[in-house]
């Protein structure tokens, strides 16, 4: 059987699909993962994936492209599967994707859907209220005939050793960036946390993407090793795997840390629910006011002056949380 799993949004979302992908892979001869460009680096890290197809859909992402009939036609012509699992967040509809899969001739399609799917779905599943995204994907896979085959934790392929980047000795990672500003701790607070962690005797490594070099340099401030722009997805996985703990917001690297088994201090802005998006399957501590006025707003920029849900968290709060998680580990 040739199976197709779709998850069209971000890096972290694709990582959260990993346990469901493994469940599908246990029953399928070939698994294709259809994802967007932001999720592609994560897709290539997942065990059980034989092929990755990258396509930017007009209904996902922060700046979706216009509808292009020729582009959609090329995608439909490229898809070949006997069964498909359409994975979406709790607030997204799977039906546009399901329509394209039907046009591609996929005979069996399963998805979570609150909307009436007509003939687009063979399994219309209703996710459990408040389910974590990883659990919801596993539940859907089971409803579609792909029962879970392991502990259901996040996993990635073994990452490369990071010693050449990080140097010798234990360290804590601080990842200051996030895909949207509302989910990021302020740079000043991050820099204070680096100073306090260093003063407490911790060696600190600061990570960030190619477009975050100025941010990571400021946060590192000469007191931490600055790896901004120096790690692709596999190398970042290696850096996170070697850490005693990771300090990050609700962003892809927090889920990557969970996938390599590293505890996470999660600076979690409640613009999306922590019950659905918290670090999954590893020891973690949530910092931030989960009852703040922005809770559940899905805001990309903080709607409350001063970003109080996160900036009321202090550097010393982070040091205490790191100490607690490192002791547990």
CATH number at residue 229: 3.40.50.2000
Q: Domain check: are 255 and 206 in the same one?
A: yes
Q: Domain check: are 134 and 177 in the same one?
A: no
Q: Domain check: are 188 and 137 in the same one?
A: no
Q: Domain check: are 217 and 312 in the same one?
A: yes
Determine the average pLDDT of the residues in 101-130: 95
Q: Domain check: are 133 and 218 in the same one?
A: no
User: Nearest 5°: phi and psi at 42?
Assistant: -70, -40
Q: Which of 143, 172, 190 is the C-terminal boundary of a domain? A: 143
pLDDT at 292 over 70: yes
Q: CB neighbours of 126 closer than 8 A, spacing ≥ 6?
A: 112, 114
In this predicted structure, what is the pLDDT of residue 230?
96
Kindly state whether residue 148 falls inside one of the protein's structural domains: no
User: Which range, of 20-24, 242-246, 258-262, 310-314, averages the lowest pLDDT?
Assistant: 310-314
d(CA 306, CA 254): 24
In this predicted structure, what is the pLDDT of residue 299?
80
Q: What is the pTM (predicted TM-score) of this model?
A: 0.96
pLDDT at 249 over 70: yes
Q: Which is more confidently placed, 304 or 55? A: 55
Q: Domain check: are 199 and 299 in the same one?
A: yes
Q: Domain check: are 81 and 174 in the same one?
A: no
In this predicted structure, what is the pLDDT of residue 328?
66
Determine the average pLDDT of the residues in 136-147: 98
Q: CB neighbours of 195 closer than 8 A, spacing ≥ 6?
A: 221, 223, 315
Q: Domain check: are 100 and 249 in the same one?
A: no
Kindly state whether residue 150 falls inside one of the protein's structural domains: no
Kindly state whether residue 157 falls inside one of the protein's structural domains: no
- Our count of domains for the chain comes to 2
Q: Domain check: are 210 and 126 in the same one?
A: no
Task: Give the percent of the chain with pLDDT over 70.
Answer: 99
Band of residue 309 on the pLDDT scale cut at 50, 70, 90 = confident
| Spatial strand order in the sheet of 109-112 | 51-54, 30-35, 2-7, 83-86, 109-112, 123-125
Q: Which is more confidently placed, 303 or 131? A: 131
Kindly state whether residue 70 falls inside one of the protein's structural domains: yes
Kindly state whether residue 248 falls inside one of the protein's structural domains: yes
Q: Domain check: are 185 and 283 in the same one?
A: yes
Q: Domain check: are 139 and 175 in the same one?
A: no
pLDDT, the chain, mean? 95
d(CA 182, CA 154): 25
Q: Domain check: are 297 and 192 in the same one?
A: yes
Which of 110, 97, 27, 103 has its CA nearest to residue 56?
Answer: 97
pLDDT at 329 over 80: no
Q: pLDDT tens digit string along 158-191?
A: 999 999 999 999 999 999 999 888 888 899 999 9
Long-range CB contacts (< 8 A, 24+ apart) of 297-305? 297/271, 298/91, 298/271, 298/272, 299/182, 299/271, 300/62, 300/180, 300/181, 300/182, 301/180, 301/181, 301/182, 302/181, 302/182, 302/269, 302/271, 303/182
Q: Which domain holds residue 134?
A: 2-143
Q: pLDDT tens digit string along 29-70?
A: 999 999 999 999 999 999 999 999 999 999 998 889 999 999
In this predicted structure, what is the pLDDT of residue 303?
84
């Amino acid at each position: 059987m040739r199976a197709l799993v779709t998850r069209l949004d971000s890096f972290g979302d694709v990582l959260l699909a990993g346990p469901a992908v493994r469940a599908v892979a246990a029953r399928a001869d070939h698994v294709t993962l259809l994802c967007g460009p932001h999720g592609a680096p994560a897709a290539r890290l997942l065990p059980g994936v034989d092929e990755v197809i990258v396509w930017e859909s007009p209904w996902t992402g922060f700046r979706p492209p216009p509808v292009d009939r020729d582009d959609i036609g090329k995608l439909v012509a490229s898809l070949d599967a006997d069964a498909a699992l359409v994975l979406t967040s709790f607030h997204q509809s799977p039906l546009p994707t399901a329509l394209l899969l039907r046009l591609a001739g996929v005979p069996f399609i399963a998805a979570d859907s609150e909307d009436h799917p007509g003939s687009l779905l063979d399994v219309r599943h209703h996710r459990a209220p408040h389910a974590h995204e990883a659990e919801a994907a596993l539940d859907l896979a089971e409803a579609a005939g792909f029962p879970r085959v392991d502990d259901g934790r996040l996993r990635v392929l073994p990452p490369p050793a990071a010693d050449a980047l990080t140097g010798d000795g234990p360290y804590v990672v601080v990842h200051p960036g996030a895909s949207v500003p509302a989910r990021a701790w302020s740079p000043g607070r991050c820099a204070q946390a680096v100073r306090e962690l260093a003063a407490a005797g911790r060696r600190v490594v600061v990570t960030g993407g190619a477009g975050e070099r100025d941010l990571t340099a400021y946060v590192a401030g000469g007191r931490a090793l600055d790896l901004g722009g120096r790690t692709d997805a596999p190398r970042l996985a290696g850096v996170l795997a070697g850490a005693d703990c990771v300090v990050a917001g609700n962003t892809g690297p927090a889920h990557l840390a969970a996938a390599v088994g590293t505890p996470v201090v999660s600076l979690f802005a409640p613009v999306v629910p922590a019950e659905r998006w918290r670090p999954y399957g590893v020891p973690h501590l949530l910092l931030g006011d989960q009852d703040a006025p922005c809770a559940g707003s899905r805001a990309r920029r903080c709607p409350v002056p001063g970003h109080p849900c996160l900036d009321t968290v202090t550097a010393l709060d982070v040091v205490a949380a790191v100490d607690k998680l490192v002791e547990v580990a």
